[in-house]
Amino acid sequence: MADKKTFYITTPIYYPSGNPHIGHCYSTLACDAIARMKRMQGYDVMFSTGTDEHGQKIEKKAQEMGITPKAYVDEIVANFKKLWATLGIKYDRFVRTTDDYHIKTVQNMFEKLYNDGYIYKGEYRGKYCTPCESFWTESQLVDGKCPDCGREVTEASEEAYFFKLSEFGPRLKELLLDPEKNFLEPKSRVNEMINNFIEPGLQDLCVSRTSVKWGIPVTIDEGHYIYVWMDALTNYISLLGFMNDTYNDYEKYWPADMHVMAKEIVRFHSLIWPAFLMALGEPLPKKVYGHGWITFDGGKMSKSKGNVIDPFVLCERYGVDALRYHLLREMVFGSDCPYSNEQMFSRINSDLANDLGNLVSRTVAMAIKYFDGTLPEEKEFTDADNELLEQLDQLPDFVSETFETMRFSEGLAKVFSVIARANKYIDENEPWKLAKDETAKPRLAAVLYNLLDAIRRIAVLLEPVMPHTSPKIYEQIGADASNTTWESTKVRHALAANVTVTKGEVLFPRIDIDKEIEELNKLFPAEEKGKDLEPLKPLTKFDNFAALDLRAVKVLSCEKVEKSDKLLKFKVDDGFGERQVLSGIAKYYKPEDLIGKTLAMIVNLEPRKMMGLESNGMILSVKYGDGYRVVEFDDSVLPGSDIS
């Protein structure tokens, strides 16, 4: 027998820097649905997902919690796996970048690229966004800030290894514009990549760090650690066994058929990843799909509208398949998609309970009522059946084509339009009237049989999206393994002519939307405003304020206080002369960054001693995240100026 055709699909490997949320669910569900469909279509599928565990963010979080980075990620990775199990995600391989085989591949690949002259040692100077772990060129900054997250960037410089990304501009442009390949979808992103990154000139890519120790060590230079994207992207081949001995699937599955991700990391997948592969002399992935974001009230979650979006809670209350269907139905490929529970409830009620659920329950109930559950062999088909049958005939190819290009929304809308057509077919043929006429029994049997067989074909096409519901439908309509294959959806009347139906549970109970939102609000009360703030103090006399002398002061010098990890020692000019003051902000500032700044200070507090040093006043700071920021003025404010 000839080998099966293979199909390799990947999700991004997620950062286990926080627990998975509904956004992560979308990419993973989309890949799962495609993988399931491809398996049904007879492909030998490799569907991979995993976690991207190295880097500064995770190192910092673990440090804050006083545990090792590995212990920190282990717990979150377990939550990712638990969520995927809850959502019915059937991945074939879960890669962790801390897995030995992955580390081996990344190290081997680094060495090869170094030996072949694609990686060299240099000094990096540039704008660096710490939270995003990204270096940016001046032209990529938006208003001088990180284009991804909008936060401040800082000038960074360190000894580092570089990958010669700058050499690959022309080949990458050719790849992106190749009309045969359609490498990157949606097409709108192609211009973005070319205009924003290739045309201005690709910069060589920093692929190692010395300051972040939580990473894969560079084997040829102690103290250097491989820097995020080279580590992360390589997962797609390490998990197949490229340059490691753990797996032996590279020849079989590479190149990947589809890399799926959201838009913010398309750049890494459509420029850097192919460039690495070009340098390695390996085949390129066939397709990169960058979908939009699931957004919450314009970016933020809100509990006040019953907008609980804990995927575990949603699955438990409304069912896994309802959530799977809703997410895949709502997101139009390429656009962002706002999430709201209210919208999900409407979808469940209209599509799942009313249209699909009713079609199944009405049809099964009629077969039981009119034929005791088993249809007679004798049937009378007429031209009135043609329209429904023709619509069904067109579905399999359309579903297949839309699903595998991430256009689930279109594909599902079409399936549900045929479900609506089937419901209309019931109303047009009025089985309840046929049942009253003994001579119309063959026609009645044909009508019910057409309906049951339509449900069969529809349920099979929906199985990739609703894998728990379709088998329940098969049971109710008397379908079996032979007539629930993907191929069988192309065939009319594959159900046994004398099929027996069985009454089953209600597939999707209707939701009373107002009541449910009230219920959710009770379960998850909206957070009280100001809950995390210091409580307000009682009123005080104006004189108490007037007694304080608040001034602008200029920092002349600033240094750490020995043996204290909190205190900084300042010399400031208060307009009248110099004075020494201490402040407990050493964790949030480098001393040299404060020199020359004009700050706000209370200058008439009685002197206090700290760590044996005298402090004459108090520098004002404001709470900022987990730390503090000094209150500062621009240079035009003179030292000694009164603050009132």
Residue among 119 and 262 whose Cβ is closer to ligand ME8: 262
Q: Segment contacting ligand ME8 (CB under 6 A): 41-49, 98-106, 195-203, 261-269?
A: 261-269
Closest distance between ligand ME8 and the C-beta of residue 353, in Å? Answer: 27
Residue among 107 and 235 whose Cβ is closer to ligand ME8: 235
Beta bridge partners of 610: 613
Q: Does 330 bind ligand ME8 (CB under 6 A)?
A: no
Residue among 14 and 403 whose Cβ is closer to ligand ME8: 14
Q: Does 242 bind ligand ME8 (CB under 6 A)?
A: no
Distance between CA atoms of residues 259 and 274, nearest Å: 12
Q: Does 96 bind ligand ME8 (CB under 6 A)?
A: no
Closest distance between ligand ME8 and the C-beta of residue 511, in Å? Answer: 24
Other Cβ atoms closer than 10 A to 491 = 14
User: Judged by CB under 6 A, which of 8, 26, 124, 128 binds ligand ME8?
Assistant: 26
Residue among 278 and 631 whose Cβ is closer to ligand ME8: 278
Q: Does 262 bind ligand ME8 (CB under 6 A)?
A: yes
Residue among 76 and 322 whose Cβ is closer to ligand ME8: 76
Long-range contacts: 340-345, Cβ < 8 Å, 24+? 340/297, 340/305, 340/307, 341/305, 341/306, 341/307, 341/308, 341/309, 341/314, 341/516, 341/517, 341/520, 342/305, 342/306, 342/513, 342/517, 344/314, 344/318, 345/318, 345/511, 345/513, 345/516, 345/517
Q: Does 265 bind ligand ME8 (CB under 6 A)?
A: yes
Residue among 233 and 511 whose Cβ is closer to ligand ME8: 233
Q: Does 23 bind ligand ME8 (CB under 6 A)?
A: yes
Q: Does 293 bind ligand ME8 (CB under 6 A)?
A: yes
Q: Segment contacting ligand ME8 (CB under 6 A): 6-14, 526-534, 571-579, 590-598?
A: 6-14
User: Judged by CB under 6 A, which of 202, 261, 359, 550 binds ligand ME8?
Assistant: 261
Strands (E), 306-452: 337-338
User: Judged by CB under 6 A, which of 9, 13, 240, 568 binds ligand ME8?
Assistant: 13
Q: Does 285 bind ligand ME8 (CB under 6 A)?
A: no
Q: Segment contacting ligand ME8 (CB under 6 A): 20-28, 147-155, 434-442, 586-594?
A: 20-28
Residue among 55 and 357 whose Cβ is closer to ligand ME8: 55
Q: Segment contacting ligand ME8 (CB under 6 A): 262-270, 316-324, 417-425, 491-499?
A: 262-270
Alpha helices by DSSP H, 49-149: 56-65, 69-86, 100-115
Residue among 230 and 558 whose Cβ is closer to ligand ME8: 230
User: For the chain, how big is the Rg over CA atoms in Å?
Assistant: 32
Closest distance between ligand ME8 and the C-beta of residue 10, in Å? Answer: 8
Residue among 265 and 520 whose Cβ is closer to ligand ME8: 265
The residue whose two tokens read 């690949």 is: 109
Q: Does 91 bind ligand ME8 (CB under 6 A)?
A: no
Q: Work out whether strand 184-185 and strand 44-51 pair parallel, antiparallel, or are unpaired.
A: unpaired
If DSSP codes are grouped into helix, strand and coil, which group holds residue 580?
strand
User: Judged by CB under 6 A, which of 8, 9, 27, 561 binds ligand ME8?
Assistant: 27
Q: Build a one-symbol-per-residue string for 341-370: x at contacts with ligand ME8 by CB under 6 A, - elsewhere.
A: ------------------------------
Comparing CA positions, the residue from 40, 47, 52 lying closest to residue 89 is 47
Residue 504 burial by Cβ neighbours in a 10 Å radius (0-12, 13-18, 19+): middle
User: Judged by CB under 6 A, which of 8, 15, 325, 333 binds ligand ME8?
Assistant: 15
Residue among 269 and 457 whose Cβ is closer to ligand ME8: 269
Q: Does 233 bind ligand ME8 (CB under 6 A)?
A: yes
User: Judged by CB under 6 A, which of 24, 39, 189, 329 binds ligand ME8?
Assistant: 24
Distance between CA atoms of residues 380 and 437, nearest Å: 14
DSSP class of residue 483? G
Other Cβ atoms closer than 10 A to 263 = 17
Task: Kindly state the number of chain residues that form the binding site for ligand ME8, as judged by CB under 6 A.
Answer: 18
Residue among 235 and 489 whose Cβ is closer to ligand ME8: 235
CB neighbour list of residue 99: distance below 8 Å, 6 or more residues apart: 238
Residue 182 burial by Cβ neighbours in a 10 Å radius (0-12, 13-18, 19+): middle
- What tokens does 73 get? 């990620």
3-state helix, strand, coil in the chain (%, to 5): 45, 20, 40
SS (H, E, C) 140-182: HCECCECCCCCCECEEEEEEEEEECHHHHHHHHHHHHHCCCCC
Residue among 184 and 618 whose Cβ is closer to ligand ME8: 184
Q: Are 94 and 48 in contact (CB under 8 A)?
A: yes
Give phi and psi for 170, each to the nearest 5: -60, -40
Q: Segment contacting ligand ME8 (CB under 6 A): 22-30, 126-134, 151-159, 495-503?
A: 22-30
Comparing CA positions, the residue from 28, 19, 21, 23 lying closest to residue 76 is 19
Q: Build a one-symbol-per-residue string for 203-232: x at contacts with ligand ME8 by CB under 6 A, - elsewhere.
A: -----------------------------x
Residue among 24 and 456 whose Cβ is closer to ligand ME8: 24
Closest distance between ligand ME8 and the C-beta of residue 30, in Å? Answer: 9
Residue among 172 and 232 whose Cβ is closer to ligand ME8: 232
Closest distance between ligand ME8 and the C-beta of residue 52, in Å? Answer: 3
User: Judged by CB under 6 A, which of 9, 12, 32, 183 binds ligand ME8?
Assistant: 12
If DSSP codes are grouped into helix, strand and coil, which group holds residue 247?
coil
Distance between CA atoms of residues 355 and 413, nearest Å: 12
Residue among 343 and 394 whose Cβ is closer to ligand ME8: 343
Comparing CA positions, the residue from 577, 585, 574, 571 lying closest to residue 550 is 574
Task: Find the Cα–Cα–Cα–Cα dihedral 613, 619, 623, 628, rounded to 10°.
Answer: -60
Other Cβ atoms closer than 10 A to 393 = 14
Name which of residues 41 to 60 contact ligand ME8 (CB under 6 A): 52
Beta bridge partners of 608: 615
Q: Does 250 bind ligand ME8 (CB under 6 A)?
A: no
Closest distance between ligand ME8 and the C-beta of residue 591, in Å? Answer: 34
Closest distance between ligand ME8 and the C-beta of residue 110, in Å? Answer: 16
Q: Work out whether strand 294-295 and strand 288-291 pair parallel, antiparallel, or are unpaired.
A: unpaired
Closest CB to ligand ME8: residue number: 23
Binding site for ligand ME8 (CB under 6 A): 12-15, 23-24, 26-27, 52, 232-233, 235, 261-262, 264-265, 293-294
